[in-house]
Chains A and B, each alone.
Chain A
Amino acid sequence: MKREHALLVLYLAAVIVTTVVHDPLSLGAGLVGLLLLAGRKAARLLARCLRVILVFNLAVSLGYLVLAHVHGFSPWETLLLINLRVLVLTLMSFLFIARVNLFRALDFSPTLTWLLGLAYSQALGFQRVHADFRLALSSRSIVRPGLRDRYRSSAAAAAWFMDKALATARESAHALRARGFFGD
């Protein structure tokens, strides 16, 4: 078994374990272990994870708080559990992606490799274009852009992405088909 395949199996097993563990202490220990594994980049990685999950966790936590208030039970232990679990899963995924070549890890399945190639090429392209939309707004803003301008710029970017996503997906699918994918 290749190193990447072994790490993929290990990662999937860790995801399952994290999902079925209901003890905040164990999840906390897992979090510490992952941060130790991250080494010198731990603080930056943790900050990145917190940024990524902030909106999702806030929405879920606030919803649960309202539910607990209406039904009159204590929400704190469950909230700690949910937030810790999401953080551990996110951190684990970031670590996995940073250390494992996903294309090698998924090379046993042409379909999965195709899906990964599609997602990866689109993500890279969109990252570059998103930066251009952001910079173009700065470039054209003689005064600090207001909320309305930011909203309009974001909406234009979203419309552009939707349009291009369809075209790029079609193009990538044709390119991969030409290279012999879809045969598994």
Chain B
Amino acid sequence: MIKLAGVSHRYNGSAALVDVSLEVAAGEKVVLLGANGTGKSTLLKILDGLIRPDRGLYTYKGEAIDPRRLRDPRLNRRFRAEVALLFQNPDAMLFNPTVYDEIAFGPRQLGLPDVDDRVRRWAERMRLTPQLERLPFSLSGGEKQKLALAALLAVGPRLLLLDEPAAALDPRSTGWLIDFLAELSITVITTTHNLSLAPELGSRALVLGEDHRLIHDGPIEDFLADQEKLLAANLVHSHRHRHGELEHRHFHTHDWE
């Protein structure tokens, strides 16, 4: 479904991604791991056709994708109806006057006959029905995240790209999100730097190192058992632990609240 071949990208001379090659098959649930600033969001934006990589090729279902090629209205329509990106900051995605219009935005563009049904179904699944007439700007952070997700899913995408979807969620909402994503039968790529959450989001891990290269592509359990890679990815740390009189240090993470 997705193929990246030797993709590199720089921002103002600073590397964001270096020589990344990978393939993702339809239906896979993939977790994209990496410390802050390793290029996770850049990679998702390339996969969503928003950024043209400086080097390398990205193909979706065999078709090369980048912002220039997406100027073709037919390709843009086909691609955007199938690929959806949830931004880390959901505010950036919400601009319609009501929650209803926000969910209806995509289906209306596609000219679908069942816009109202889709809006009500996704609002119900996201527990947003009481908010349908409210201004999206006035919702809480968690509600905005759910609204942005509902707006994307109402279109019926085949590939869902999620950029740190649990970052702004409280523990209860995070639990809800894990269950919700597990029920989806489409391809999902989720970024996170939360090691405890990662195994719940997918079975395959793609890990970006601090040198912006892909340092692991395989089962998530293998990565979590590989201390050398965990250190290279800067996803674990060590410090002194005191247990009464006993003091020791070991590698660990504090990310599961």
Binding site for B on A (CB under 8 A): 129, 132-133, 135-144, 149, 152-153, 155-157, 159-160
**Is the pair B109, A141 in contact by a Cβ cutoff of 8 Å?**
yes
**Is the pair B97, A142 in contact by a Cβ cutoff of 8 Å?**
no
Chain A residue nearest in CB terms to B111: A143
Chain A residue nearest in CB terms to B102: A140
Binding site for A on B (CB under 8 A): 45, 48, 50, 67, 73, 76-77, 80-81, 84-85, 87-89, 91-97, 105-106, 109-110, 137, 151-152, 155
**Is the pair B80, A149 in contact by a Cβ cutoff of 8 Å?**
no
Contact of A138 among B50, B84, B106, B109 (CB under 8 A): B50
Contact A135 to B81, CB < 8 A, known contacts A129-B89, A143-B109, A149-B95: no
Q: How far is the CA of A143 from the CA of B155 in the complex (A)?
A: 13
Contact A142 to B155, CB < 8 A, known contacts A132-B89, A159-B137: yes
Residues of B within 8 A of A152 (CB): 95-97
Contact A142 to B95, CB < 8 A, known contacts A135-B45, A159-B137: no
Q: How far is the CA of A143 from the CA of B70 in the complex (A)?
A: 11
**Is the pair B77, A142 in contact by a Cβ cutoff of 8 Å?**
yes
Q: How far is the CA of A141 from the CA of B80 in the complex (A)?
A: 7
Chain B residue nearest in CB terms to A135: B50
User: A99 CB to closest chain B CB, in angstroms?
Assistant: 17
Chain A residue nearest in CB terms to B105: A140
**Is the pair B77, A143 in contact by a Cβ cutoff of 8 Å?**
yes
**Is the pair A139, B91 in contact by a Cβ cutoff of 8 Å?**
no
Q: How far is the CA of A135 from the CA of B93 in the complex (A)?
A: 9
User: A139 CB to closest chain B CB, in angstroms?
Assistant: 5
Contact A139 to B50, CB < 8 A, known contacts A152-B97, A159-B137: yes
Residues of A within 8 A of B81 (CB): 142
